[in-house]
Structure 1
Protein backbone atom coordinates (compact mmCIF):
# COMPACT_ATOMS: atom_id res chain seq x y z
CA UNK A 1 0.00 0.00 0.00
CA UNK A 2 1.40 3.43 -0.97
CA UNK A 3 2.16 5.80 1.82
CA UNK A 4 0.22 9.06 1.82
CA UNK A 5 2.34 12.24 1.63
CA UNK A 6 2.63 14.12 4.89
CA UNK A 7 0.88 17.48 4.93
CA UNK A 8 1.24 20.29 7.37
CA UNK A 9 -1.73 22.32 8.56
CA UNK A 10 -1.98 25.80 7.11
CA UNK A 11 -0.66 28.50 9.42
CA UNK A 12 -3.20 31.24 9.94
CA UNK A 13 -1.39 34.56 9.48
CA UNK A 14 -1.43 37.27 12.12
CA UNK A 15 -4.51 39.36 11.44
CA UNK A 16 -3.98 42.38 13.72
CA UNK A 17 -1.27 44.91 12.98
CA UNK A 18 -0.32 48.11 14.79
CA UNK A 19 0.71 51.49 13.44
CA UNK A 20 4.30 51.52 12.26
CA UNK A 21 4.62 47.77 11.59
CA UNK A 22 6.22 46.74 8.32
CA UNK A 23 4.25 44.33 6.18
CA UNK A 24 4.35 42.66 2.81
CA UNK A 25 1.06 43.04 1.00
CA UNK A 26 -0.37 41.91 -2.30
CA UNK A 27 -2.72 43.81 -4.58
CA UNK A 28 -4.96 40.80 -5.12
CA UNK A 29 -6.65 42.14 -8.28
CA UNK A 30 -3.31 42.76 -10.01
CA UNK A 31 -2.10 39.34 -8.84
CA UNK A 32 -5.08 37.38 -10.21
CA UNK A 33 -5.00 39.35 -13.47
CA UNK A 34 -1.33 38.38 -13.90
CA UNK A 35 -0.19 41.98 -13.90
CA UNK A 36 3.29 42.95 -12.69
CA UNK A 37 3.89 45.02 -9.58
CA UNK A 38 1.38 43.25 -7.38
CA UNK A 39 3.46 42.79 -4.20
CA UNK A 40 4.75 45.64 -2.04
CA UNK A 41 6.38 46.46 1.27
CA UNK A 42 4.32 48.83 3.35
CA UNK A 43 4.06 50.50 6.75
CA UNK A 44 0.78 50.31 8.66
CA UNK A 45 -0.73 53.76 9.18
CA UNK A 46 -4.10 52.90 10.73
CA UNK A 47 -6.81 50.28 10.98
CA UNK A 48 -10.53 50.70 10.60
CA UNK A 49 -13.67 48.63 10.34
CA UNK A 50 -15.72 48.51 7.16
CA UNK A 51 -19.25 49.51 8.23
CA UNK A 52 -20.88 47.38 5.50
CA UNK A 53 -19.33 44.00 6.35
CA UNK A 54 -17.58 44.53 9.71
CA UNK A 55 -14.19 43.51 8.30
CA UNK A 56 -11.06 45.07 9.79
CA UNK A 57 -9.04 46.83 7.07
CA UNK A 58 -5.75 48.74 7.03
CA UNK A 59 -4.35 51.86 5.44
CA UNK A 60 -0.69 51.52 4.48
CA UNK A 61 2.10 53.61 3.05
CA UNK A 62 3.79 51.80 0.18
CA UNK A 63 7.48 52.29 0.95
CA UNK A 64 8.85 52.04 -2.60
CA UNK A 65 6.93 55.13 -3.73
CA UNK A 66 5.70 56.64 -0.45
CA UNK A 67 2.19 56.12 -1.84
CA UNK A 68 -0.90 55.76 0.36
CA UNK A 69 -2.86 52.50 -0.03
CA UNK A 70 -6.27 52.38 1.64
CA UNK A 71 -8.55 49.53 2.66
CA UNK A 72 -6.05 46.67 2.54
CA UNK A 73 -7.48 43.31 3.56
CA UNK A 74 -5.25 41.67 6.22
CA UNK A 75 -5.72 38.29 4.48
CA UNK A 76 -3.32 39.68 1.85
CA UNK A 77 -0.77 41.04 4.32
CA UNK A 78 2.12 39.32 6.08
CA UNK A 79 4.36 40.70 8.84
CA UNK A 80 7.98 41.49 8.06
CA UNK A 81 9.83 40.62 11.28
CA UNK A 82 12.73 42.83 12.30
CA UNK A 83 14.84 39.70 12.88
CA UNK A 84 14.62 38.87 9.17
CA UNK A 85 15.60 42.39 8.14
CA UNK A 86 18.59 42.36 10.49
CA UNK A 87 19.74 38.77 9.89
CA UNK A 88 22.68 39.78 7.68
CA UNK A 89 24.05 42.10 10.36
CA UNK A 90 23.39 39.66 13.20
CA UNK A 91 25.25 36.87 11.39
CA UNK A 92 28.01 38.96 9.80
CA UNK A 93 31.54 37.70 10.46
CA UNK A 94 33.14 40.21 12.81
CA UNK A 95 36.74 39.13 12.46
CA UNK A 96 38.02 40.30 9.09
CA UNK A 97 34.60 40.64 7.53
CA UNK A 98 34.13 39.41 4.00
CA UNK A 99 32.45 42.50 2.56
CA UNK A 100 31.35 40.55 -0.51
CA UNK A 101 29.16 38.33 1.67
CA UNK A 102 27.35 41.18 3.40
CA UNK A 103 24.86 43.76 2.22
CA UNK A 104 25.99 47.38 1.99
CA UNK A 105 23.98 48.24 5.11
CA UNK A 106 25.83 45.66 7.18
CA UNK A 107 29.20 46.85 5.88
CA UNK A 108 28.35 50.49 6.64
CA UNK A 109 27.23 49.60 10.16
CA UNK A 110 30.40 47.64 10.84
CA UNK A 111 32.67 50.36 9.45
CA UNK A 112 30.96 53.05 11.54
CA UNK A 113 31.14 51.10 14.78
CA UNK A 114 34.58 49.58 14.28
CA UNK A 115 36.04 53.00 13.46
CA UNK A 116 34.87 54.40 16.80
CA UNK A 117 36.95 52.00 18.84
CA UNK A 118 38.64 49.12 17.11
CA UNK A 119 39.25 47.23 20.37
CA UNK A 120 35.60 46.58 21.22
CA UNK A 121 32.26 46.34 19.52
CA UNK A 122 29.30 48.43 20.71
CA UNK A 123 27.04 47.12 23.45
CA UNK A 124 24.18 45.07 22.05
CA UNK A 125 20.90 46.93 22.48
Structure 2
Protein backbone atom coordinates (compact mmCIF):
# COMPACT_ATOMS: atom_id res chain seq x y z
CA UNK A 1 0.00 0.00 0.00
CA UNK A 2 1.51 3.40 -0.95
CA UNK A 3 2.21 5.86 1.83
CA UNK A 4 0.83 9.35 1.56
CA UNK A 5 3.04 12.21 2.62
CA UNK A 6 1.38 15.06 4.41
CA UNK A 7 2.48 18.56 3.75
CA UNK A 8 1.91 21.52 5.94
CA UNK A 9 1.06 24.63 4.01
CA UNK A 10 1.75 27.89 5.72
CA UNK A 11 -0.51 30.80 4.90
CA UNK A 12 1.17 33.64 3.03
CA UNK A 13 2.36 36.20 5.53
CA UNK A 14 3.43 39.73 4.77
CA UNK A 15 5.58 41.60 7.21
CA UNK A 16 5.55 45.32 7.94
CA UNK A 17 8.38 47.68 8.83
CA UNK A 18 9.12 47.30 12.53
CA UNK A 19 7.81 43.73 12.87
CA UNK A 20 9.99 41.50 15.03
CA UNK A 21 10.68 38.17 13.34
CA UNK A 22 12.66 34.99 13.81
CA UNK A 23 14.89 34.29 10.81
CA UNK A 24 16.81 31.17 9.88
CA UNK A 25 19.87 31.39 7.66
CA UNK A 26 19.04 28.24 5.69
CA UNK A 27 22.56 27.65 4.36
CA UNK A 28 24.11 27.75 7.84
CA UNK A 29 21.28 25.57 9.14
CA UNK A 30 21.71 22.78 6.57
CA UNK A 31 25.50 22.89 6.92
CA UNK A 32 25.13 22.40 10.69
CA UNK A 33 26.86 25.66 11.50
CA UNK A 34 26.08 27.57 14.69
CA UNK A 35 24.33 30.93 14.67
CA UNK A 36 21.81 30.01 12.00
CA UNK A 37 18.74 31.46 13.74
CA UNK A 38 18.32 34.99 15.03
CA UNK A 39 15.76 37.62 15.94
CA UNK A 40 15.46 40.57 13.63
CA UNK A 41 13.42 43.68 12.95
CA UNK A 42 11.96 44.30 9.49
CA UNK A 43 13.43 47.47 7.99
CA UNK A 44 11.91 47.31 4.52
CA UNK A 45 10.59 45.01 1.84
CA UNK A 46 11.13 45.08 -1.88
CA UNK A 47 10.51 43.08 -5.03
CA UNK A 48 13.42 41.32 -6.73
CA UNK A 49 13.73 42.64 -10.29
CA UNK A 50 14.22 39.23 -11.95
CA UNK A 51 12.17 36.80 -9.84
CA UNK A 52 9.45 39.28 -8.78
CA UNK A 53 9.64 37.69 -5.31
CA UNK A 54 9.12 39.94 -2.29
CA UNK A 55 12.24 40.01 -0.10
CA UNK A 56 12.96 41.68 3.21
CA UNK A 57 15.82 43.61 4.75
CA UNK A 58 16.27 43.01 8.48
CA UNK A 59 18.36 44.29 11.34
CA UNK A 60 19.66 41.48 13.51
CA UNK A 61 18.76 42.61 17.02
CA UNK A 62 21.51 40.78 18.91
CA UNK A 63 24.32 42.44 16.95
CA UNK A 64 22.57 45.32 15.18
CA UNK A 65 23.81 43.79 11.91
CA UNK A 66 21.98 44.41 8.62
CA UNK A 67 20.70 41.40 6.66
CA UNK A 68 19.48 42.04 3.12
CA UNK A 69 17.31 40.08 0.69
CA UNK A 70 15.76 37.69 3.19
CA UNK A 71 13.29 35.16 1.80
CA UNK A 72 10.06 35.31 3.86
CA UNK A 73 9.80 31.50 3.71
CA UNK A 74 12.51 31.47 6.39
CA UNK A 75 10.94 34.12 8.61
CA UNK A 76 8.31 33.81 11.33
CA UNK A 77 6.56 36.66 13.09
CA UNK A 78 7.24 36.92 16.81
CA UNK A 79 3.92 38.15 18.20
CA UNK A 80 3.93 40.69 21.00
CA UNK A 81 1.55 38.45 22.96
CA UNK A 82 4.28 35.80 23.19
CA UNK A 83 6.89 38.33 24.29
CA UNK A 84 4.55 39.74 26.93
CA UNK A 85 3.15 36.42 28.17
CA UNK A 86 5.11 36.49 31.44
CA UNK A 87 3.75 39.93 32.27
CA UNK A 88 0.21 39.07 31.25
CA UNK A 89 0.22 35.94 33.42
CA UNK A 90 2.13 37.35 36.40
CA UNK A 91 0.70 36.18 39.74
CA UNK A 92 -0.47 39.63 40.91
CA UNK A 93 -2.16 38.23 44.00
CA UNK A 94 1.05 36.60 45.25
CA UNK A 95 2.41 38.33 48.38
CA UNK A 96 5.98 37.42 47.36
CA UNK A 97 7.22 39.41 44.35
CA UNK A 98 9.93 36.75 43.97
CA UNK A 99 7.20 34.57 42.45
CA UNK A 100 6.93 37.01 39.54
CA UNK A 101 9.31 37.09 36.63
CA UNK A 102 11.69 40.06 36.45
CA UNK A 103 9.81 41.42 33.41
CA UNK A 104 6.51 41.42 35.30
CA UNK A 105 8.08 43.21 38.26
CA UNK A 106 9.66 45.81 35.95
CA UNK A 107 6.32 46.44 34.25
CA UNK A 108 4.54 46.86 37.59
CA UNK A 109 7.22 49.23 38.91
CA UNK A 110 7.04 51.36 35.78
CA UNK A 111 3.26 51.67 35.94
CA UNK A 112 3.15 52.27 39.69
CA UNK A 113 5.70 55.04 39.32
CA UNK A 114 3.75 56.73 36.51
CA UNK A 115 0.10 56.63 37.47
CA UNK A 116 -1.64 54.03 39.58
CA UNK A 117 -4.96 54.76 37.88
CA UNK A 118 -3.82 52.68 34.87
CA UNK A 119 -3.76 49.50 36.94
CA UNK A 120 -6.86 47.33 37.03
CA UNK A 121 -9.28 47.86 39.90
CA UNK A 122 -8.97 45.22 42.60
CA UNK A 123 -12.23 43.48 43.40
Shared topology, TM-score over 0.5? yes
Counterpart of 1:39 (choices 23, 37, 40) is 37
Q: Which consecutive segments of 4 or more residues in structure 1 shift more than 6 A? A: none
Q: How many angstroms apart in 2 are the aligned matches of 1:85 and 1:73?
A: 24
* Structure 2 unaligned spans of 5+: none
Q: 1:71 is matched with which residue?
A: 69
For structure 1, the 5+ residue unaligned runs are 1-6
1:30 alignment partner, one of 16, 19, 28: 28
2:14 to 13, 16, 19: 16
> Which shows bigger deviation, 55-64 or 107-116?
107-116
RMSD (CA atoms): 2.6
What corresponds to 1:54 in structure 2?
52
Structure 2 vs 1, CA of residues 110 and 15 (structure 1 numbering), >3 Å: closer, same or farther?
A: same
Query: What does residue 83 of structure 1 align with?
Result: 81
Deviations 1:42-78 (A, max 9, x none): 0000001111111110000000001100000000000
Aligned length: 117
Instruction: State the 1:11 CA deviation.
Output: 4.3
> Equivalents in 2 of 1:23, 1:55: separation in Å?
19
TM-score (norm 2): 0.81
